[in-house]
Structure 1
């Protein structure tokens, strides 16, 4: 090792030539005040389709965003080539504040939450009345996720030509859910029109497990065909009809639907059960006298007295407790 004396001169010091990596880094980031505003329509392996004005452009996330990701429904700022021409690529430089976020986990033990869609204001929970059979626990879980995200739930029951809707609707009567019933014969006519009335003026995310007719219904609503897959009539299994979330405009700019991939489970590991009570305004005031960290299903819960004194219907409390218990049960139970 070379050792210098107390007073080294210029001959003792080797100065490395300035290279790109030696330049001082700045924390100042461009504001991109001239960036165009757009909406993310779909995401596919790092490439995002963004609607800017009336053009669909392809974009990627700018490095300056770091770990922050953009999802379907996000309002974003984009710069670069905004022509929408083939083989062009723009950059997403800003993700605007979200009004809502719908999340799920793979299961109830998975700590990693996945953002399903951003900025929706309604969640359409699609379930078939038969072929495949309804899964109430799946519906319960989607309801909890909707309430947690601040979305209005809409129950969409398909294939009413195979089974009546009454028994399932009775299960959720105390929740006063908005719902619509369709059948396969009228799906392209009156059935689609009835659903469309429930979606007008809203951004609605569609969820449901494979085979319930979710994407077929979306096709009828937006008049834009997407590939549908065959599903085994006995097991309900089959290839998913949608492989990634996709935002589609309703005719006449009446609103947006966001078709999501069919799911086999809807994990709730990310949800704080204490937030579910906010969806029950008739019960929430009664929790004031609950013990600390009350699960609302224990001997000292103040909601029992609240209901007994006539402030709310017993069926409402039963529904709340059923929803809160969904994290303790598997969907098939």
Structure 2
């Protein structure tokens, strides 16, 4: 029926009534996605997700997007998800992620220490491998400390992986972290024998993290020959490496022995989200000694009447271990790392 409007003629579409919006009755019924397939997100690229799924023909890789009902819920590398749609994996096929399973661990960081927004880097990893070169570039304790703090906060097991031991003595660095009880492996050549490191990775999902140029991508290529990760070099003037990885990538170890996640080389790792009380929980022996601390005590070296100091005076705490813990605590606010 034409509108009574002289501006429109009968040949104009605008001359006719349009259907009303929201004419379909709303329903509380929601799809159950009974045909959804389980998968693991292995990388994220501009809103597209690469997902590994297991099928009757073995593991295959598919592309997916996030379904609208998930809203702003983030999906990151390592997430266990359920997908529907075309999961064939052929060129042009696209599935939808309709559910993100509950995460067991979450590795977070903030861009800076005054940034209130947390950014999730990886989900569901059990081990954080802090890759540090003993020389070329020189080890930087600030990042190691911060990575350890992030691992303890996330409930992940830390592991120090010291590379280029043919250029420097690892004992100098290890003496700093021995009192914390952090396990370590030492490699002399990144392309050489990695047997000890491989043993530490078996059956786990491990995140490799470190500054650019320390050899993460070279390690990944040695552990997963098919990875073909680009390898960078250290700048002779600045002593820093060039970013070669641009996004976190999850790779299956040969023979299904576990997963490794290669992360981009980082130069900023804010810890504004980490609370002192949460950090000390990673050290049960020290945590017990803080039960009588005054309210609001951060357990730092400048805190009056801290239970850690009293425990040292009574001979119940190892001063070196307490000092190492307080160094990690201070790493939350250090700016040069």
TM-score in terms of structure 1 length: 0.91
Residues 270, 26 of structure 1: alpha-carbon distance in 2 compared, 3 angstrom cutoff:
farther
Which 10-residue stretch deviates more, 31-40 or 143-152? Answer: 31-40
Match of 1:251 among 251, 254, 257: 254
Whole-angstrom CA distance in 2 between matches of 1:22 and 1:310: 76
Match of 1:236 among 236, 239, 242: 239
1:177-326 equivalences in 2 (<5 Å): 177-184=182-189, 187-190=190-193, 192-224=194-226, 225-297=228-300, 298-326=303-331
Match of 1:150 among 151, 155, 174: 155
Corresponding position: 1:126 with 2:128: no
Whole-angstrom CA distance in 2 between matches of 1:149 and 1:107: 18
2:3 counterpart residue number: none
**Do the aligned partners of 1:37 and 1:78 also contact (CA within 8 Å) in 2?**
yes
1:62 counterpart residue number: 67
Which 10-residue stretch deviates more, 16-25 or 307-316? Answer: 16-25
Residues 19, 52 of structure 1: alpha-carbon distance in 2 compared, 3 angstrom cutoff:
farther
SS of corresponding position for 1:276: helix
Structure 1 residue 91, shift from structure 2 partner? 0.1
**Do the aligned partners of 1:265 and 1:331 also contact (CA within 8 Å) in 2?**
no
**Do the aligned partners of 1:131 and 1:234 also contact (CA within 8 Å) in 2?**
no
1:49-88 equivalences in 2 (<5 Å): 49-53=50-54, 54-88=59-93
Whole-angstrom CA distance in 1 between matches of 2:284 and 2:214: 32
Whole-angstrom CA distance in 2 between matches of 1:234 and 1:162: 19
1:40 counterpart residue number: 41
Whole-angstrom CA distance in 1 between matches of 2:311 and 2:266: 37
Whole-angstrom CA distance in 2 between matches of 1:27 and 1:231: 58
Which 10-residue stretch deviates more, 72-81 or 223-232? Answer: 223-232
Summarize deviations over 1:265-300 as a string: whole Å, max 9, x none. 211011112100011111111111000110112121
**Do the aligned partners of 1:174 and 1:315 also contact (CA within 8 Å) in 2?**
yes
Match of 2:112 among 107, 115, 121: 107
SS of corresponding position for 1:279: coil
Whole-angstrom CA distance in 1 between matches of 2:160 and 2:174: 9
Whole-angstrom CA distance in 2 between matches of 1:236 and 1:59: 40
Structure 1 residue 310, shift from structure 2 partner? 3.1
Residues 238, 127 of structure 1: alpha-carbon distance in 2 compared, 3 angstrom cutoff:
closer
**Do the aligned partners of 2:272 and 2:332 also contact (CA within 8 Å) in 1?**
yes
Aligned length: 315
Summarize deviations over 1:227-246 as a string: whole Å, max 9, x none. 12233133133431111000
Gaps of 5+ in 2: 1-16
1:12 counterpart residue number: none
TM-score in terms of structure 2 length: 0.90
Gaps of 5+ in 1: 1-15
RMSD: 1.6
Structure 1 residue 312, shift from structure 2 partner? 2.5
Summarize deviations over 1:191-226 as a string: whole Å, max 9, x none. x22211111111000100100001100110111221
**Do the aligned partners of 2:244 and 2:265 also contact (CA within 8 Å) in 1?**
yes
